[in-house]
Amino acid sequence: MAPSTFKLNTGQDMPAVGLGTWQSSPGEVAAAVTCALKSGYKLVDAAYCYGNEDEVGQGIKAAIDAGYVTRSDIFVVTKLWNTYATRAEVCLDKSLKALGLDYVDQYLVHWAVGMNPNGNDDRFPKLPDGSRDITWDHDHTATWAQMEDLLKTGKTKSIGVCNYSVPYLEQLLKKAKVVPAVNQIENHPSLPQQEVVDFCKSKGIHIVAYSPLGSTGGPLMKSEPVLKVAKRKAASPGTVLLSYHVARGATVLAKSVTESRIKANLEIIDLDADDMKILNDYSDSLAKEGKLERYVYPPFGINFGFPDKKEGRSMPNGI
Ligand SMILES: NC(=O)C1=CN([C@@H]2O[C@H](COP(=O)(O)OP(=O)(O)OC[C@H]3O[C@@H](n4cnc5c(N)ncnc54)[C@H](OP(=O)(O)O)[C@@H]3O)[C@@H](O)[C@H]2O)C=CC1
Ligand SMILES: O=C[C@H](O)[C@@H](O)[C@@H](O)[C@H](O)C(=O)O
């Protein structure tokens, strides 16, 4: 049977499935979070940059007040945003205040980039030409040292990263005192990122897969091989796409603000070797044809070291 949790290098049990909250609108997200926790979700993924942590917190509070869950039952994740890359505790404090919590279960570096802390916007400062106001001499390993210090405050139970490629992870691990608990990355059959997945496994870093349905509108639910596996299993394409990660030993985050979908996304089935072969063959053919699909790649203009995205400016780290 598919596992419902995975053990992290911190000893924590991280749920196999979580609710995403990116692009979940104010007015919808609190109800979505409460519905998820009522339905059996134990993991909620938030971020400072999503601008909706206050409503996420209201949704959590409503679920606790209603007796659906207790605080210690659930695993709350949020993320350090780039404009706070040199002020990690300031950002965490803001998130905790918005969420109405005194600790999170996991705090992640959202992207390995710094953005101008004194620019023209708190989250997305821009230059006059419209490009992002990046701190080009930022050292992402210095941010990690700040993350390590946060563990001593008790405000987060574990720390990790998002969107880290193998070369970035290698740099971080050279200096790290604490190995990240997770690397949260875009992951699905159209972007298996096997090199990062394998590297993380070898270092004891758990993979958390985001945009499993292909992000906005869930385009991967129409993909031919996914439909084929869905038919074999008499399951929905969404269930196949989410179960793929659990079969790979990863946690998966799916976003929805629709009650029926929130509930449906909790269903994880066992995919067998033949099912996985159909999906893996598909990934291999996309890789061969240069047709891998990365749905989330914000316009930072930076080369983050992913083999499918070599364009962009190098940071001082030389990648
Ligand atoms: N660390 C990072 O940089 C990133 C982290 N993430 C995290 O991962 C989460 C998930 O990724 P995300 O990019 O949001 O995309 P998903 O792949 O989860 O897709 C979300 C989309 O699919 C729709 N949907 C969800 N479930 C179903 C279903 N069962 N049937 C049909 N449609 C469905 C949603 O619609 P609707 O809501 O209208 O129901 C929404 O349009 C994010 O919300 C965020 O928490 C995501 C991207 C980057
Ligand atoms: O977590 C989700 C994504 O990473 C999201 O935070 C970014 O894409 C952000 O909107 C941006 O434009 O940089």
Is residue 232 one of the residues assigned to a domain? no
Beta bridge partners of 23: none
| Ligand 1 nearest-atom number relative to CA 295 | 13
Which whole number is the average pLDDT over 285-309? Answer: 96
Q: What is the pLDDT of residues 26-69, one digit of tens each?
A: 899 999 999 999 999 999 999 999 999 999 999 999 999 999 99
Distance CA(47)–CA(123), nearest Å, equals 11
Is residue 308 one of the residues assigned to a domain? no
- Measured CA angle at 89 (ends 87, 90), to 5 deg: 65
Q: What is the pLDDT of residue 315?
A: 80
Task: Tell me what ipTM this predicted complex has.
Answer: 0.99
Residues lining ligand 1, judged by CB closer than 6 Å? 20-22, 45, 110, 162-163, 184, 210-218, 238, 253-258, 261, 264-265, 296
Confidence of residue 110 (pLDDT cuts 50, 70, 90): very high
Distance CA(14)–CA(206), nearest Å, equals 9
**Residues 6 or more apart from 262 whose CB is under 8 A from it?**
19, 32, 35, 36, 39, 41, 256
The pLDDT of residue 257 is above 80: yes
Q: Which residue has the tokens 């574990």?
A: 158
Half-sphere exposure of 6 (CA within 13 A, CB side): 23
Q: What is the pLDDT of residue 109?
A: 98
Is residue 269 one of the residues assigned to a domain? no
Which whole number is the average pLDDT over 281-299? Answer: 97
Is residue 172 one of the residues assigned to a domain? yes
Pocket test for ligand 1, best of 162, 256, 266 (most atoms within 8 A of CB): 256
Average pLDDT score, the chain: 97
Query: Amino acid letter at 179?
Result: V
Is residue 156 one of the residues assigned to a domain? yes
CATH number at residue 102: 3.20.20.100
Distance CA(191)–CA(214), nearest Å, equals 10
Distance CA(3)–CA(6), nearest Å, equals 7
Q: What is the pLDDT of residues 59-90, one digit of tens each?
A: 999 999 999 999 999 999 999 999 999 999 99
The pLDDT of residue 317 is above 90: no
Domain that holds residue 84: 8-217+249-261+276-288
Is residue 293 one of the residues assigned to a domain? no
Dihedral of the alpha carbons of 313, 190, 105, 49, in degrees to the nearest 10: 50
Token pair in block for residue 286 = 């996309």
Dihedral of the alpha carbons of 270, 275, 277, 278, in degrees to the nearest 10: -140
Is 164 a residue of the active site?
A: no
Q: Which ligand is nearest to the CA of 236?
A: 1
Q: What is the pLDDT of residue 53?
A: 98
Q: What is the pLDDT of residue 97?
A: 98
Q: Which ligand is nearest to the CA of 161?
A: 1
Q: How many domains does the chain have?
A: 1
Ligand 1, atom 43: nearest CA belongs to which residue?
20
Which whole number is the average pLDDT over 188-193? Answer: 98
Which whole number is the average pLDDT over 221-250? Answer: 98
Is residue 25 one of the residues assigned to a domain? yes
Alpha helices in 76-193 (DSSP H): 88-99, 140-151, 166-175
| Ligand 2 nearest-atom number relative to CA 300 | 13
Distance CA(48)–CA(70), nearest Å, equals 23
Half-sphere exposure of 230 (CA within 13 A, CB side): 17
The pLDDT of residue 319 is above 80: no
User: pTM for the complete prediction?
Assistant: 0.98
Is residue 224 one of the residues assigned to a domain? no
Q: Among residues 52, 20, 204, which one has the least CA distance to residue 123?
A: 52
The pLDDT of residue 218 is above 80: yes
